[in-house]
Amino acid sequence: MINTKQIIVIAGIVVLMGVILLQPVKSLTKEEPVATEDAMASATTDQFSLESVSQIAKQGLSANLTKEITDLETKLNAASDADKLPLYKELAQHWLDVNQPMPVAFIYEEIAQEEPSLENWVKTGDLFTDSYQHLSDTVMAPAFTERAKKAYESALAIDDKNLDARTGLGTALVNGPAPMAGITMLLDVVKEDPANLKANYNLGLFSMKSRQFDKAVERFNTVLEQTPNNAEVWFYLATSYENIGLKADAIKAFQKSKELAADPSLTQFIDRKVEELSK
């Protein structure tokens, strides 16, 4: 979700906006047949592995970084089962250092299977969530959503009251076969914890996706009260303001996003937006 390193690759914000606003919302009154959806998701999930997503993630790395990670992968593959766990953690840190959550999610899935703690399963789910929320790939995103769902279910089997796991599962359901059940779960979380960061963030994203931009404004403002330096959320707030006709507020929020992100690609996009809104 919200990355303390401050943003996905910034251009990814604009890509994600396209995913949010163009992706159709599944029916909120009639759920899809869960058995069929689960079977499809399982088949899709099996298409991806740590090896396959690592190859994808390496495409954006320098030759030196790629070699470092490949050498560590070789060492991991040659290690005995007893020696793999610390190597998995070392490899995960390498991928985190270059802000690539996809391979880290698969690594933490392995770690959680070896050390099945609440913390490890929630972290696995969060990493898959971060991955699928910033993917436009219509094959990979459902597979990662399903893996996130299973991770949070494993966490809830340990502690069924845990708000992070409930929020993560609700988010996965919203983006998967049972959106209404997911929304209900997220609303239950904010009823219990009105300022819950992850639940408000994800309810804000869904409000945008369902074009309920007034509700999105409320959710993102709640998030920004706690994380005022999050350029990503300022961008979503600006877009929500824009879609309900509050141009002045949209301009302010866009400018704040530009200031915090300090990224040339996003700056150009926002400058064009501000010019349009100023007419």
- Nearest 5°: the CA angle 212, 13, 186 is 45
Residues 214 and 273 in one domain: yes
Q: Which of 22-36, 94-108, 150-164 has the lowest mean pLDDT?
A: 22-36
Residues 5 and 71 in one domain: no
CATH number at residue 36: 1.25.40.10
Mean pLDDT of 86-112: 95
Q: Which of 83-87, 106-110, 217-221, 266-270 has the lowest mean pLDDT?
A: 266-270
Q: Does any domain span residue 183?
A: no
Q: Does any domain span residue 188?
A: no
Residues in the chain: 279
Residues 19 and 45 in one domain: no
Mean pLDDT of 73-79: 95
Mean pLDDT of 234-249: 97
Residues 122 and 37 in one domain: yes
The Cα–Cα gap between 212 and 118 comes to 34
The residue type found at 225 is E
Residue that finishes a domain, picked among 177, 207, 224: 177
Q: Does any domain span residue 187?
A: no
Residues 108 and 124 in one domain: yes
Domain range for residue 25?
A: 1-31+195-279
pLDDT at residue 37 is higher than 80: no
Residues 160 and 259 in one domain: no
The Cα–Cα gap between 179 and 32 comes to 9
Q: Does any domain span residue 182?
A: no
pLDDT at residue 21, as a whole number: 57
Residues 119 and 57 in one domain: yes
Residues 55 and 164 in one domain: yes
Q: Does any domain span residue 105?
A: yes
Residue 7 CA to its chain's centroid (Å): 11
Residues 77 and 9 in one domain: no
The Cα–Cα gap between 195 and 203 comes to 12
Q: Does any domain span residue 184?
A: no
Residues 119 and 224 in one domain: no
Contact criterion met (CB below 8 Å) for 277 and 253 = no
* Interval 132-181: pLDDT, tens: 988 877 788 899 999 999 999 999 999 999 999 999 999 999 988 789 99
pLDDT at residue 13, as a whole number: 57
Residues 44 and 134 in one domain: yes
Q: If you average pLDDT over every residue of the chain, what do you get?
A: 87
- Higher pLDDT, residue 117 or 37: 117
Mean pLDDT of 30-47: 51
- Higher pLDDT, residue 58 or 20: 58
Residue that finishes a domain, picked among 128, 143, 177: 177
pLDDT at residue 34 is higher than 70: no
The residue type found at 257 is S
pLDDT at residue 36, as a whole number: 44
Q: Does any domain span residue 185?
A: no
Residues 49 and 161 in one domain: yes
How many domains does the chain divide into?
A: 2
Q: Does any domain span residue 109?
A: yes
- Higher pLDDT, residue 25 or 178: 178
Whole-model pTM over 0.85: no
Residue that finishes a domain, picked among 121, 151, 177: 177
Residues 156-165: b if buried by 16+ CB within 10 A, e if exposed: beeeeebbbb
The Cα–Cα gap between 25 and 162 comes to 28
pLDDT at residue 19, as a whole number: 55
pLDDT at residue 77, as a whole number: 93
- Higher pLDDT, residue 6 or 258: 258
